[in-house]
Amino acid sequence: MVLDTSYKAGRVDKRLFGSFVEHMGRVTYGGIYDPGHPAADSRGFRKDVIELVKELQMTIIRYPGGNFVSGYNWEDGVGPKEGRPKRLELAWWATESNEVGTNEFMEWSKATGTDVIMSVNLGTRGIDPARNLVEYCNHPSGTYWSDLRRSHGFEAPHAIRTWCLGNEMDGEWQIGTKTAQEYGRIAVEAAKVMKWTDPSIELVACGSSLDTMPTFPQWEATVLDHAYEHIDYMGLHQYYFNRDCDPANYLAKSVGFDGYIRSAIAALDYMKAKKRSKKTMFISMDEWNCVNDLTIRPIEYDRWSVAPARNETIYTMEDALLFGSMMITLLRHADRIKIACQSLLVNLSACIMAEANGPAWRQTTYYPFLHASLYGRGVVLQTVVVSPKYDCRDYTDVPLLDTVAVWDEADETCAIFAANKDQREELRLQCDIRSLEGYGVIEHIVMQHQAYNAVNGPDRQDNVVPHAGGVSAVEEGRLTAVLPAFSWNVIRLGKKRA
């Protein structure tokens, strides 16, 4: 590996370290909000979950959906709780109690120190409720909706900066599915009135739900043909599933992730050229994750109950390695990806698990996110990497070494994130760091386990955890490091102090 501080790929936006809370399963109810739990505060929020979110130093959370938002009336979730209606929630076949709504979530975000991406319903609803929600949240006072917020006990506006124009509108599973033409028209009209209500906001339009959608990337081109000059980001979603006990193929999916991003960027740049626009369109990867279908907790689903548990994946060491590679991929594209939301935050395909009447604990995927959030802020360096490669069922020429370097010039530190995907052999990394004159190794963090399917749990929370005992050294401008087989690594370099 060769890195040079003269070659910069892009600066990392702090919003790359975000997550997603939806009214789905036990994410909201039983996750962030559980008034009957011993760890709940006076508002019903679980303090143990809040502390784990703060430890991750997350910056932004997308809310309230997801598929949920396409059937959601935001007015149901404001005002006195005793007057809020219960509704059949058609996205996830549950009953929505509306105990948690806009104001409660804004209180929770303040407690965690995170900003909010607010989604509006463009499935069953349209531009009028969308502009009203902006007025309710962001206008100071003196109008119907802003004064209604104040009457609900929130004098100061929430000042939400970033808004999503619907969710996955290309999917036939979505309430109010639209063609690209239909969505492009409603997106541009919603964008106009929302920005007229508050010119300071920025907007995310729905891109493709997955790279396997038959409309990708034509969907992006058609939507941007209508809305290019009215929006700020194209939202993309991507999940990778482990269904067949093939680690080599599963870990190679980060190559597919990189290809998806590159194809999307090509579509965005094509529309920039077609529009003769001076504006560069950026990406919000506002749902991303890997999902292990082999370790989902067995759950008996009770249709139309309140917050029935769904898809509670227990993550393995293998999952953490793919998750880390996906995080590396996002960092490598920091020049174009400015927002990213790991999906979801609590209980459902989540970094954090919150047991009913029990503890909150860290999944294996918690740690790559933590390391990227703590040490991945600065400038991504354009590195040259030579690695052994392998072929698998769905991909060819997959590098065994997945890596990225982030340099913090002000702090005089550099973090190298590296995943060794070889299941049996260590990799010996040699890295030319002559441009980082005077830098040495601060620490080498390693996470590995002899069993690729090893997991954490409420009774064994420290089964798969990182340690700072990695082997690495710097001599004469060259870093040498040992990356154990099937391991996640963070090598932190810093300027030697006199």
Confidence band for 298, pLDDT divided at 50, 70 and 90:
confident
Confidence band for 299, pLDDT divided at 50, 70 and 90:
confident
CA-to-CA distance for 232 and 284, rounded, in angstroms? 9
pLDDT surpassing 60 at residue 498: no
Query: Of 56, 32, 40, nearest to 367 (Cα)?
Result: 56
The string of pLDDT tens digits covering residues 450-472 is: 999 999 999 999 999 999 999 99
Confidence band for 189, pLDDT divided at 50, 70 and 90:
very high
Q: Residue 157, preceding bond cis, omega within 30 degrees?
A: no
CA-to-CA distance for 447 and 488, rounded, in angstroms? 5
Element containing residue 267 per DSSP (H, E): helix 253-275
- What average pLDDT does the segment 49-78 reach? 98
CA-to-CA distance for 328 and 323, rounded, in angstroms? 9
Averaged confidence pLDDT in the chain:
97
CA-to-CA distance for 77 and 100, rounded, in angstroms? 6
Cβ neighbours for 429, distance < 8 A, ≥ 6 positions apart: 1, 401, 418, 472, 479, 480, 481, 482, 483
Residue type, 412: E
Residue type, 134: V
- What average pLDDT does the segment 294-300 reach? 83
Please report the sign of the dihedral spanned by the C-alpha atoms of residue 129, residue 135, residue 141, residue 143.
Answer: negative
How many other CB atoms sit within 10 Å of the CB of residue 279? Answer: 11
pLDDT surpassing 80 at residue 301: no
pLDDT surpassing 60 at residue 357: yes
pLDDT surpassing 60 at residue 334: yes
Which domains, ranges and CATH numbers included, belong to the chain? 12-378 (3.20.20.80), 381-495 (2.60.40.1180)
C-alpha to C-alpha distances, 52 to 46, 341, 370, nearest whole angstrom:
10, 16, 10
Confidence band for 264, pLDDT divided at 50, 70 and 90:
very high
CA 402 to chain centre: 19
pLDDT surpassing 80 at residue 496: no
Confidence band for 311, pLDDT divided at 50, 70 and 90:
confident
Q: Is the pTM of this model over 0.85?
A: yes
How many other CB atoms sit within 10 Å of the CB of residue 409? Answer: 11
Positions marked catalytic = 168, 287
pLDDT surpassing 90 at residue 7: yes
Confidence band for 300, pLDDT divided at 50, 70 and 90:
confident
pLDDT at position 178, please? 98
Structure tokens that stand for 2 in this block? 């060769």
C-alpha to C-alpha distances, 117 to 129, 166, 328, nearest whole angstrom:
17, 12, 23
The single residue listed with the structure tokens 């080498």 is: 444
CA-to-CA distance for 57 and 37, rounded, in angstroms? 24
Cβ atoms of residues 16 and 335 within 8 Å: no
The string of pLDDT tens digits covering residues 86-125 is: 999 999 999 999 999 999 999 999 999 999 999 999 999 9
CA-to-CA distance for 75 and 23, rounded, in angstroms? 15
- What average pLDDT does the segment 387-413 reach? 97
pLDDT at position 138, please? 98
pLDDT at position 310, please? 87
Element containing residue 321 per DSSP (H, E): helix 317-332
CA-to-CA distance for 253 and 261, rounded, in angstroms? 13
| Side-chain half-sphere exposure of 228, counting CA atoms within 13 A | 21
Q: Where are the beta strands (DSSP E) in 409-465?
A: 413-420, 427-432, 439-447
- CA distance between the termini of the chain: 28
